[in-house]
Amino acid sequence: MDQVAFWQDIQARSQSHWQRWQAHLGAITVGATPHLSVAIVGRPGVGKSTLLQHLIHPLTLPAGATRWPVSVLTPDPPILWTDTPGWTPEQTPVIQQALAQADMCLWVVTPADTSELQALLQAWGRPVIRVVHWWAGEPPLWESPQANFIATVVVRLFPTAQPLRTQWPDGRVEWSEMTLPVDVAALQTLLADVLKYRAAIACVNRLLVMAQREREWLDQQRQIPVSWWPVVIKAVAVTLAPGLLFKVGISWCADLGITVWLSRRLHLPLTRYGIERLVMALGLSSGAVGLESWFAAGQGGFTVWGDGFWGGLTGYGVQQVARAYLQQGVVWASNGPQDLLQRIYRHLSPGSWLHSWVEHCLRLVNNLS
């Protein structure tokens, strides 16, 4: 399968999965448009607006902190640029809103920047290019890209006069001034290369959002308390059953009824994933009731109370097992986000930034569970 067909297949499967669970996952707009959406973030005065002005010259943009993000769409390259206000704790919700609509991010920093934005961007999970605004001299060596920080680029934005010291052989020292030119060529080259993978970036971002939405939804369901009335009904029915075969049959029917009822209560349809485990759980539950009744035969009243207790206990266990596998049927369905992320990870060449980033996304998704 070639690259275009592969990403089209991934996108079609993710779209189908989202449509199936749209009522629970809500609207997901990441990657819905053909252009790449890039947010520019950083602390106040670091050069975000100046960088954007040089990237899409000669368009002028307002400089300084604003109360809302400023977005500009350029047709060539097809990028929606979003300039955010300078990061402060008070501006965090505005920046998070801009990041939620972005495919990737340019994080503008100075060499001494210790902004808390790094933790926010790592949890965000989407590709981040760290743009180091270097004033003068030779930049130091930076650590290799890792996690979702896919690259580090050094730029010079402000053409300011810099002192230049000259010492003559006779001991005289003269000072003159030199002007450092604006240099964003390396960043432009990197963006041109990243732009080739905008379909891949959009697909992975969409799957990451879907996985996070699913975990939030399933976490809410886990907080729904276990109902005790099915447990009591099964315990009473098993207690009143006249013989061993009747007890096993009633236990099986009660467990099946509990599973179907739980599926409707949690709005989780029975899927192929885990159906064998659900059938096995029902068989073990009914078999345990039958074994308990057979071993306790001849013990008089103890058999009745033991059957009832064991029937209720297995009914409670079936609820817990069915809840777990019904939820996993959503997350690990054949076209679920985790399954598709695994397919993408196996398809990519190891060592590339795209491969490393998808690996980071998988770790984020697994940490959610």
Q: Model's pTM, two decimal places?
A: 0.74
pLDDT of residue 321: 78
Specify which of 54-58, 134-138, 345-349 reaches the highest per-range mean pLDDT. 345-349
**Which amino acid belongs to residue 157?**
L
pLDDT of residue 207: 92
pLDDT of residue 220: 78
Question: pLDDT at residue 64 above 50?
Answer: no
Q: What share of the chain is helix, strand, coil (3-state, %, to 5)?
A: 55, 15, 30
* Rounded mean pLDDT, 161-171: 71
Strands 36-41 and 79-83: parallel
pLDDT of residue 252: 77
Sorting pLDDT into bands at 50, 70 and 90, what band is 126?
Answer: very high
**Which of the two residues, 306 and 134, has the higher pLDDT score?**
134
Question: pLDDT at residue 254 above 90?
Answer: no
Q: Given the structure tokens 């399954």, which residue do they identify?
A: 339
**Which of the two residues, 149 and 78, has the higher pLDDT score?**
149
Sorting pLDDT into bands at 50, 70 and 90, what band is 128?
Answer: very high
36-197 topology per CATH: Rossmann fold (3.40.50)
Cis peptide before 77 (omega within 30 of 0): yes
* Rounded mean pLDDT, 35-44: 90
pLDDT of residue 65: 45
Residue among 98, 197, 97 at smallest CA distance from 151: 197
Are 41 and 118 in contact, with CB atoms under 8 Å apart?
A: no
Sorting pLDDT into bands at 50, 70 and 90, what band is 239?
Answer: confident
Question: Burial of 131 by CB count in 10 Å (0-12 exposed, 13-18 middle, 19+ buried)?
Answer: buried
* Rounded mean pLDDT, 148-174: 79
Mean pLDDT over each residue of the chain, to the nearest integer:
80
- Residues 304-344 pLDDT 10s: 566 677 677 777 777 777 777 777 777 666 678 888 999 99
* Rounded mean pLDDT, 255-277: 75
Are 37 and 103 in contact, with CB atoms under 8 Å apart?
A: yes
Determine phi and psi for 38, rounding to 5 degrees.
-120, 125
Structural domain spans, the chain: 36-197, 224-331
Sorting pLDDT into bands at 50, 70 and 90, what band is 201?
Answer: very high
72: Cα within 13 Å, side-chain hemisphere: 17
pLDDT of residue 358: 94
Residue ranges of E strands in the chain: 36-41, 70-74, 79-83, 104-109, 128-133, 149-155, 161-167, 173-179
pLDDT of residue 231: 78
* Rounded mean pLDDT, 15-27: 81
Sorting pLDDT into bands at 50, 70 and 90, what band is 355?
Answer: very high
Sorting pLDDT into bands at 50, 70 and 90, what band is 112?
Answer: confident
* Rounded mean pLDDT, 191-203: 90
Sorting pLDDT into bands at 50, 70 and 90, what band is 59?
Answer: low
pLDDT of residue 310: 67
- Local structure of 182: helix, strand or coil: coil
Question: pLDDT at residue 250 above 90?
Answer: no
Sorting pLDDT into bands at 50, 70 and 90, what band is 20?
Answer: confident
Q: Given the structure tokens 């669970």, which residue do they identify?
A: 21
Determine phi and psi for 151, rounding to 5 degrees.
-165, 155
Are 1 and 328 in contact, with CB atoms under 8 Å apart?
A: no
